[in-house]
Amino acid sequence: MNIVLFGPPGVGKGTQSDNLVNELGITHFAMGDILREAVKEGTALGLKAKTYMDSGKLVPDALVIGMIEARIMDPEVTGGFLLDGFPRNVSQAEALASMLEKHGESIDRVVFMDAPEAMLLKRLSGRLICRACGFGFHRHYSPPRKEGRCDRCSGELYQRDDDKEEVIGQRLEVYGEQTRPLLEYYKALPAFRRLDASGEMTAVYAELMKAVKN
């Protein structure tokens, strides 16, 4: 099964994807994580991407499309994939459609997750991530047992640079201008599902599972 998950920053795409890919046995491609990895490794592409990410703007299509195509077309990826954070504008969606067609693949579900902006702000500003294993927490909604330390591996928890207040506003603006129009692009497809992601995590997951299976 091939799934596309899209929605505003902080709506819970990463949180829900982790559970979903484990349950369905598919591969998770999170565009933001792929880019952050490139930044950490200091590759030429990562260095270029960093400037855009730090200011809350989208990384140019020419960089991200090639990165995602290489991954989803990897022959070792069997059983399907979940795309989280790609596509993020209409031209990326068109590129995805043509790369899938070229390789005889298609999208089985496109799930749009949404929640009110005030809730997105709370989720983003309280997010904490483990520097060692990447697991996500939230200061209020899913706090770690020991402050500043990951429950899973005891790694150090940090706040993403782009989760600082001044960058969050810009990310939400970019989302409204460039990513939300994907709704028009996808909503007529039989594969399209809309999900209210404002509930608590387990309730949202149950609804997501229904959206994927029905």
Instruction: Give catalytic residues, as residue numbers.
Output: 13, 88, 127, 160, 171
- Can you say how many angstroms the Cα of residue 57 is from the centroid of all Cα atoms in its chain? 15
Closest CB 50 distance from ligand AP5, rounded Å: 9
Q: Return the number of the residue (80 or 126) whose C-beta is nearest ligand AP5.
A: 126
Q: Cβ neighbours of residue 5 under 8 Å, at least 6 residues apart?
A: 13, 16, 17, 82, 83, 84, 111, 113
CB atoms closer than 10 angstroms to residue 79: 10
Distance CA 156, CA 160 (A): 13
> Beta strand 136-138 with 127-130: parallel, antiparallel or unpaired?
antiparallel
Closest-by-Cβ residue to ligand AP5 is: 32
Binding of ligand AP5 by 192 (CB under 6 A): no
Name which of residues 2 to 61 contact ligand AP5 (CB under 6 A).
9-15, 31-32, 35, 52-53, 56-59
Distance CA 211, CA 172 (A): 25
Count the residues of the shown chain that bind ligand AP5, applying the rule CB under 6 A. 33
- Can you say how many angstroms the Cα of residue 25 is from the centroid of all Cα atoms in its chain? 18
Kindly indicate which of the ranges 98-106, 143-151, 183-191, 200-208 contains the residues binding ligand AP5, using the contact rule CB under 6 A.
200-208
The binding site for ligand AP5 (CB under 6 A) comprises 9-15, 31-32, 35, 52-53, 56-59, 64, 85-86, 88, 92, 123-124, 127, 136, 138, 141-142, 162, 171, 200-201, 204
